[in-house]
Amino acid sequence: MLLPSSDTSVLLSTAYFPPIDYFVAIANGGEVRLEQCESYSKQSYRSRCNIFACDGVLSLTIPVVTSGNNTPIRDVKVDYTKKWLQQHTRALVSAYMSSPFFEYYQDEIFAVLESGEKYLFDLNCRLLDVLMENLGLNKGIVLTEDYLPSHLIGGDVLDYRDKIHPKKGSPIFTEELKQKPYYQVFSQKYGFVSGLSVLDLLFNEGPQASSFLRIDSRK
């Protein structure tokens, strides 16, 4: 796996409360490109995230409405006939209400969740903006204009679209992030858990969260 640097662009798929690796790529890379021309992929971070709850890792998934196989990601709608919003909000409160910085960020994040965005891509983009701002990642995002498979992408672009994936196992930047694990509410019960949504890092470390994303600072 090539590491992101200021000389390389990073290509990412949209994601719901993306995992920490997603933001490691953004923090250490150059230009950020967000894929808007792909087809929707089930069981990926595009519509799910993992948080650290009192019973261990908990997956939160947004139910969506598609037009069948190969639905363009921009056409995927959020299914508000399901009670996912109430479930996700309660789960986040239960998991992080005792974390040091949850109260500081919750209103802004919940306001986006409760905004009723029609499309998954638009909801994810609004959440991404909020997360990047609070992580101090002052980078613009360029949306792709067409879809290119990995083998047609130039060497100056690192393609993480399907490398940062819940079924890929361990976080991809584990070896590069050498610093001690950050604080987690339930670590005394389960030990440190990696591969979670960046919400876990933000709620637990607050303004210091960005320092855990920098590969160079850990050498």
Q: pLDDT per residue over 172-205, tens digit each?
A: 888 877 666 899 999 989 999 999 999 999 999 9
pLDDT at 179: 60
Q: pLDDT per residue over 27-64, tens digit each?
A: 999 999 999 999 999 999 999 999 999 999 999 999 99
Q: pLDDT per residue over 151-180, tens digit each?
A: 999 889 999 999 999 988 778 888 877 666
pLDDT bin (cut points 50, 70, 90) of residue 217 is very low
Helix-strand-coil split of the chain, %, nearest 5: 35, 15, 50
pLDDT at 1: 57
Closest CA to 4 of 40, 31, 43, 34: 31
Whole-model pTM? 0.94
What dihedral do alpha carbons 60, 65, 69, 73 form, nearest 10°? -70
Q: Are 12 and 36 in contact (CB under 8 A)?
A: no
pLDDT at 180: 66
Say whether pLDDT at 218 is over 70.
no
**Residue 152 DSSP class:** G
| CA atoms of 64 and 79, how far apart (whole Å) | 5
Say whether pLDDT at 77 is over 90.
yes
For the chain, give the number of residues.
219
| CA atoms of 203 and 217, how far apart (whole Å) | 21
Say whether pLDDT at 4 is over 80.
yes
Look up residue 23 and give its two tokens: 């933001």
Question: What's the whole-number mean pLDDT along residues 135-153?
Answer: 95
Closest CA to 18 of 95, 129, 115: 129
For the chain, the straight-line distance linking the first and the last C-alpha, in angstroms and rounded, comes to: 18
Closest CA to 177 of 205, 209, 219: 219
Say whether pLDDT at 14 is over 90.
yes
pLDDT bin (cut points 50, 70, 90) of residue 96 is very high
